Structure 1
Amino acid sequence: MGNKLTAFTEEQLEAYQDCTFFTRKEILRIFKRFQELSPNRVPNDMRNGRVKKVRIPLTELEVMTELRENPFCERICQVFSEDGSGDMNFDDFLDMFSVFSEAAPRDIKCVYAFKIYDFDGDNFLNRFDLEKTLRCLTRNELTVDEVSFIVDKVIEEADLDDDNMLSYIEFEHVISRSPDFLNTFHIRI
């Protein structure tokens, strides 16, 4: 009677619901969005291990409406892709949407924001990371001197232990004082 064809097994859908901030219906909507990005690559049936094998390349992800205008588009894809390449399987894609959902708590969003801004992956936001972040935010419209000045001010304000870089704790402290953070760190599905 209720033998409806679905892309996932019941176990997969239950696991996705347990690991994300989404309902079953939202998960299937996100899968449809994933499939629309590369219909020839993504099959209707994602059971039997296909979820990990089917990957959409970064070049196809970068054009999606939700990301294409974001100055951190490439970096977001790299952070959420399992291997750091920016290419994503459905699990990566769903994780990204889950973290950027309005239901995700501030602390999870903060962890991922830190990862996105930590371009060199050393678990600190050093001058290089802060300069690169600023260049992304301003789309390279500032002079070298302006970037340097702003980075100096950020470090002066946020670097509590005077090591010339921001730890995660220092970054989290800054974010906790930013009321707009939750409003800007999301993607609607």
Structure 2
Amino acid sequence: MGNRSSLLLREEEIAQIQQETGFTPSQIERLYSRFTSLDRGDCGTLSRDDFLRIPELAINPLGERIVNSFFQVAFKMYDLDNDDMISKDELLAILHMMVGTNISEEQLNSIAERTILEADEDGDQMISFEEFCKALQRTDVEQKMSIRFLN
């Protein structure tokens, strides 16, 4: 399988990833190697800054826009009615999808209201894409909006 000293994946992990993704063991090893070289914090996640350090993105005049597209996709996951705004009802719907009945309705309402309160800068009780991005910049993005790999 190549140089195993630099690769921390076990054979069973490679087999599981191969089964789930259809990637070959060689492709998995290359992806994992690339991931670990980008993971500057060595925490198993890639931050926005980690993405911007990708040489091809760093020299690409559209690199910033490419990375921002990840944020647009995240925003669209919450914008269920595609009106370019996230409402409290949309937040509640997503929270229900994520936690089901593990949290009370009162707690879910509190989370949604607090999220709107913290992110809504113009007072319209909705979160725009710009407000969403600003809220993410104020948040520990590595922890809250990270891509986890084999954790």
Q: TM-score, normalised by structure 1?
A: 0.41
Supply the distance in 2 between the matched residues of 1:149 and 1:185 (Cα, whole angstroms): 26
- CA deviations 1:119-138 (Å, max 9, x no partner) are 12111100111112222332
Alignment match of 1:139 (pick from 91, 95, 100): 100
How far off its partner does 1:186 sit? 6.4
- CA deviations 1:145-183 (Å, max 9, x no partner) are 111111111111110000011000000111122332686
Whether 1:33 and 2:33 are equivalent positions in the alignment is: no
Q: Which amino acid aligns with 2:92?
A: E
- CA deviations 1:46-81 (Å, max 9, x no partner) are xxxxxxxxxxxxxxxxxxxxxxxxxxxxxxxxxxxx
Whether 1:177 and 2:138 are equivalent positions in the alignment is: yes
Q: Aligned Cα RMSD in Å?
A: 3.2
Supply the distance in 2 between the matched residues of 1:177 and 1:128 (Cα, whole angstroms): 23
Structure 2 unaligned regions, length at least 5:
1-17, 24-50, 58-65
How high is the sequence identity, in percent, across the aligned residues?
A: 24
Structure 1 unaligned regions, length at least 5:
1-28, 35-101
SS of structure 1 residue aligned to 2:121 = coil
- In 2 relative to 1, CA 183–173 (structure 1 residues): closer, same or farther, beyond 3 Å? closer
Question: Which residue of the partner structure matches residue 157 of structure 1?
Answer: 118
Deviates more, 1:177-186 or 1:126-135: 177-186
Supply the distance in 2 between the matched residues of 1:183 and 1:143 (Cα, whole angstroms): 24
- In 2 relative to 1, CA 138–182 (structure 1 residues): closer, same or farther, beyond 3 Å? closer
Q: Which residues in structure 2 correspond to 1:74-85 (within 5 Å)?
A: none
Task: State the number of aligned residues.
Answer: 93
Higher helix share: 2
- In 2 relative to 1, CA 125–185 (structure 1 residues): closer, same or farther, beyond 3 Å? farther
Q: Which residues in structure 2 correspond to 1:1-189 (within 5 Å)?
A: 33=22, 106-178=67-139, 179-180=141-142, 184-185=146-147
- The structure with higher relative contact order (CA 8 Å, sep 6+) is 2
- In 2 relative to 1, CA 156–185 (structure 1 residues): closer, same or farther, beyond 3 Å? same
Q: TM-score, normalised by structure 2?
A: 0.50
- In 2 relative to 1, CA 131–183 (structure 1 residues): closer, same or farther, beyond 3 Å? closer
